[in-house]
Each structure stands twice: as C-alpha cells, then as structure tokens.
Amino acid sequence: MNEVGVSAELIDARTLLPFDINHSIVESLKNTNRLLIVDEDVPGGASAFILQQIVEEQKGYFYLDSKPVTLTAKAHRPAYGTDGDYFSKPSIEDIFDAAYGIMHEANPTDFPEIY
C-alpha cells in the first residue's frame, strides 16, 4: 500500500473477551483517524462486536475523520476445503480496495478512483 501513499497500523485483536484492555486501538485512532476492521467471520459477527467496543465502549468515535468500515467474509456458507476460504474470506486485494476506498473518500484528489 505504500506504493500508492497509504500506510496502516495493524492491530491483531487476539481475544474478544477481554477485548483490548489497554485501548491500543483507540490510541491508534488518535494517529490515523480512520478504522478498517477485517474479520474472517460473516457480517454482523465478531466484526460487529469489535466495532461496538471501539466506537461505543472506548469512545473511539471522537477520533474518527471517516466512517468506520468493516470487511468480512461473504454472507454465505463457505465451501468445504481450502478453496472455499479463497472465495469467501477477505483477500489482500479486498483489504487494499477497502483501505484505498477510505482514503479516496477522505481525499479524492490525492487518491483518485481506481478502475
């Protein structure tokens, strides 16, 4: 992503209970002012819980300059085997597109739409 002028801070939330007891994500929001949650679960699963914890419980909305975005697995039952993972879970291309989309929304001049 550095090639297109986008940098990111990556935080791996290893547990949901307890969740981010040191508020590392909110500390990151103070630097980046943007939030992309990537989750291998279906929409409304763990990503919804994570978003709720960051925005509501930890008051992360104070530091957001853009709407928070969740990127999850597809809303269907994945196929059996490892091939199903490729088509149902977020790929590196999906993550790039979501992160770039956040930057395009914030600054379309510096981050023009990619076709």
Establish if 89 belongs to a structural domain: yes
Number of domains, the chain: 1
Sorting pLDDT into bands at 50, 70 and 90, what band is 86?
low
Establish if 62 belongs to a structural domain: yes
39 CB-contact burial (10 Å; exposed 0-12 / middle 13-18 / buried 19+): buried
| CATH number of the domain to which 61 belongs | 3.40.50.920
Establish if 5 belongs to a structural domain: no
Establish if 112 belongs to a structural domain: no
Structural domain harbouring 74: 23-106
Strand partners, 69: 36
SS3 letters across 73-89: CCCCCCCCCHHHHHHHC
Establish if 16 belongs to a structural domain: no
Establish if 53 belongs to a structural domain: yes
Predicted model pTM = 0.81
For residue 101, give the 3-state DSSP assignment.
helix
Establish if 35 belongs to a structural domain: yes
pLDDT for 79:
63
Angle at 104 between CA 56 and CA 95, to 5 degrees: 70
12-34: per-residue pLDDT in tens? Answer: 998 999 999 999 999 999 999 99
